Structures are given as structure tokens and as C-alpha cells.
Amino acid sequence: MKISIKYMGSIINLPSGVIDLAKNASENELKVILVLSAYSSHFCDFDKAIPALCKQLDLTASEVTSALCFWAKNGILELDGVDNISPDTVSSVTEADNSVPSFTGAQITALIDANPSFKMLADCAANVLGKDFTPTDYNSLLHIKNYYKFSDEYILMLLAYCVENNTSNWAYIRKTSKILYDEGIDTYEKLEEHFAARRNKRSLEYKVRKLFGVGGREFTAREKGIFDAWANAKISYELIKMAYEISVDNGKGANWNYANKILENWLASGVKTVEDAQRLMESHKEKLSMSSFDTDDFFEAALKRSSERIKERSKK
């Protein structure tokens, strides 16, 4: 009995290397290479090929991508002169709705083998998080890399910051990524500046809590509003401490409102440093008169007395 292939219409042209790889190729991988060979002119654009192959073969984007990775890894496929497949190329079809992809372990292995740059990112990320990556970890990393288009350096800084704050689970990392992206913090330089400001605010909060005797309890709504205003205005701890000492020296104790009024007056007068505040208080001495005082006069007198006490303490 003789076997004959009936050539009717177009002919599929495949590299001979496919024969050697066929025994190790999966059903999906064979389907993809056959369709690509038959309709290569229609699938020259990789981004458009993924959804088209998904529709024609009734496969998911993950399955198609895995198959392409297999053939690229083994030298059968080449994409416009690029010899590997980047995770970025599947973002539009796997994560258009900001969902985490669901590549299997085998698919991830194929993707990593075909893409050394992603393997390097994953290895560094695993080192930062201090864990061996599972498929869940790889999928979450792919999600952040593909959907937000963050650079590798950006992602590693983000992961390091989360670890620093003891919140390194992927749900938190994904949520933080979305917040940063929505706020326009989408480059390494912007992220570095953002995290520096966050660290400075935490440092200031620790010092202010200790100064006003707040301890570890939550700020009240009033305290939080005042502290946030100080932090946003970038008032130094030294100025806050000076306002606190004036409040205490004038019998007000650790009075947030009193200290805040002092700082507001200083800001309105252009005060930025302790030296500026001392010069401002010195300038008030000459205009103060004991003959007629209004509320503001009493306040200025209090500042004068405090200025003198602060100077005395600095001499000791």
C-alpha cells in the first residue's frame, strides 16, 4: 500500500529541524508551527499574530506564546530579526484588563529559556524578596512588567522598598504598582524621588511623635492634619522643635495648635530655618511696648521670652 499526499492549493514549507523536534513538541506547539507555516504572510506582525492564532486554533494567549517560545528556543522561529521572545510582546493580549496571567510552570520555563533578560530580572527579584520563585511569583512579575511597562530597575527598587516595609506579598506589590502608575510615578527617577520623600516623612513622624509624647498610638484627626501640613510644607524637625519649646516655655505644654500657629506665622514671614526664626523674633523686640497689647502683642511677647530662653539654653 502506497501513501500519497494530495497537494491541493498551497503547500506548507517547514524547516527540516521541525522533524527532529516533533517527538518532543506538544500538540499545541505542532498546531502553531503548522498554521504559521501555512499562513506566514498573515502572521508577520507578532502582536497581531497572537490573537489571530488564538482564534484560529482555539488556544489561549498563554498557550500560543508558550508554543512560540518552544520554536524560538530551538531556532525554528525568528521574529523580525529578534532571536528571542520578550514578555512585553504578549502584554496586549494577556493583560488588557490588568489581570495576572496564568502561565504554567512549563510555559514559564519556555519563556525564560527564550528570554535571558527576563530570567535575569526574575533572578534578581527572587533575591530581593528572599525566596525561590513559584509560577505564581513569575506570573505576578510578568503582570507588573507587561501591564505597567516599568523598567527592570524600577521593579527592583519597588520590591526592595516593599521588603523594607515588611509588606512583600504580591497583592500589596500589585496594589502599590497601580497607585504609583495612576499617580504618574512611572520612571525610576520619579520612583526614587517619591520613596525619598516617604522615608523623610516617616523619619519626621517618628521624631514628632517622641517630641509631643504621642508614642505608638494613632494620631488623632487634628494631630494628623497638622502633621501632614508640616510634612507637605517640608518644615524641618528643628523648626518644629523650636515651636514646641516656645509652647512649653509659655505654659501651653505640648500644644499642637499653639505650635502650629507659631509655624504658620513663621512660614507667612518667609522663615525656613532656625536662624531665620531667631532673627524674626529679635526684630519684634523693638516694636513691643507694654502700654498697649492686643492678642497678637501677647503672642509676640511670648515669642520674645522664648527666644531669650532658647538663647540662654544654647549658651550652656
Residue 43 in this model has a pLDDT that exceeds 90: no
Give the contacts of 30 (CB within 8 A, at least 6 positions apart).
Answer: 22
- pLDDT per residue as tens digits for the range 4-18: 777 766 677 788 888
Cβ–Cβ under 8 Å, residues 144 and 177: yes
Give the pLDDT mean for 54-66: 79
Cβ–Cβ under 8 Å, residues 186 and 176: no
What are the cell numbers at 215?
A: 508614642
Instruction: Report pLDDT for 313.
Output: 59
Cβ-count burial of 70 within 10 angstroms (0-12 exposed, 13-18 middle, 19+ buried)? buried
Give the pLDDT mean for 72-98: 54
Q: How far apart are CA 135 and CA 120, in angstroms?
A: 16
Give the pLDDT mean for 135-152: 90
Angle at CA of residue 90, ends 86 and 93, nearest 5° = 175
Give the pLDDT mean for 294-298: 52
What are the cell numbers at 224?
A: 494628623
pLDDT band, very low/low/confident/very high, at 93 (cuts 50, 70, 90): very low
pLDDT band, very low/low/confident/very high, at 290 (cuts 50, 70, 90): very low
Residue 257: φ, ψ to 5°: -65, -40
Question: What percentage of the chain carries pLDDT values higher than 70?
Answer: 79
- pLDDT per residue as tens digits for the range 188-225: 999 999 999 888 898 999 999 999 998 888 999 999 99
Residue 85 in this model has a pLDDT that exceeds 80: no
- pLDDT per residue as tens digits for the range 162-188: 998 888 889 999 999 999 999 999 999
pLDDT band, very low/low/confident/very high, at 240 (cuts 50, 70, 90): very high
Q: Determine the residue type at 273.
A: T
Long-range contacts of 213-222 (CB under 8 A, 24+ apart): 213/254, 222/256, 222/257
Instruction: Report pLDDT for 110.
Output: 80
Instruction: Report pLDDT for 225.
Output: 94
